[in-house]
Every structure is written in structure tokens, then in C-alpha cells.
Amino acid sequence: MKIEHYEFGKITIEGKTYSSDIIVFPDRVIPDWWRKEGHQLCIEDVSEVIKYSPEIIVVGTGAYGVLVVLEETKKFLEQKNIELIICSTKDAVKKFNELISQDKKVVGCFHLTC
């Protein structure tokens, strides 16, 4: 699942454009990803991701980095031995594509706007 393009509010994956936050697995996309607390990433927000047992989770925090990954979420993922990469969505898209090209078991969680 290579991400072909990202711009504020839009992301294109394998020819399909999404205009709401998404989670990208190697074999599927979960569109319309909503979080419990809007601009905070809680443990519950990544429950589906955890079931997949990724090596790495890449979190795109938005164009301006508004999405915050809570400390409890960071610690929880660390305890699960899941590497967490947090950066602006533009940079997160680049990192995600880089990691999938290296055959890493990676999932991307992307906030598309602010």
C-alpha cells in the first residue's frame, strides 16, 4: 500500500483519494479514522493496529503537527515492543513509504488536516 500523494486534507493510496483521517495497513486501509479525543492519540485509537502486531507504527500528526500522541500511548506501545515514529503527516508519508519498501511490518496512522 504505497502512498502516492499527500496534501492538506487529501491522501492518495493505490489510485484512491481519501479526504478524512486514515489507518494504512500493508493490505488494507481503514478510512474515516476517528479518535476518542479528537487531536489526541489514545491507546483505544490504535486498538485495531495493535491486533495486527506491527513492528512499527508511523503517526502523521497533521500538516501543522496538531495531533498529540499521549505519553500513556507511547509507553503502552513501547511495552508491546512496537517502534513509534511521530512526525508531520508530510514527513510521515515519506517515512511510511520508505519502511514498506524495506519490507517492514508497518502501519501508518495519518491525520490529514491541521
Which CATH architecture does the domain made up of 3-110 adopt?
3-Layer(aba) Sandwich (3.40)
Give mean pLDDT in consecutive 10-residue pieces for the chain, a chain of 114 residues.
96 97 96 94 96 97 98 98 98 97 95 97
Helix/strand/coil for 1: coil
pLDDT value of position 53: 96
pLDDT value of position 1: 87
Give domain limits for the chain: 3-110
pLDDT value of position 44: 96
Q: Which amino acid is at 22?
A: I
- Cα-based angle 48, 92, 106 (whole degrees, multiple of 5): 40
Question: Do the Cβ atoms of 80 and 52 come closer than 8 Å?
Answer: no
Q: Model pTM?
A: 0.96
Task: Output the nine-digit C-alpha cell for 108.
Answer: 501508518
Radius of gyration for the chain, computed over Cα atoms and rounded to the nearest angstrom: 13
Task: Output the nine-digit C-alpha cell for 48.
Answer: 485495531
Which of 28, 67, 18 has the alpha carbon at shortest distance from 49?
A: 28
Q: What are the φ/ψ torsions at residue 56 (nearest 5 degrees)?
A: -140, 140
pLDDT value of position 50: 96
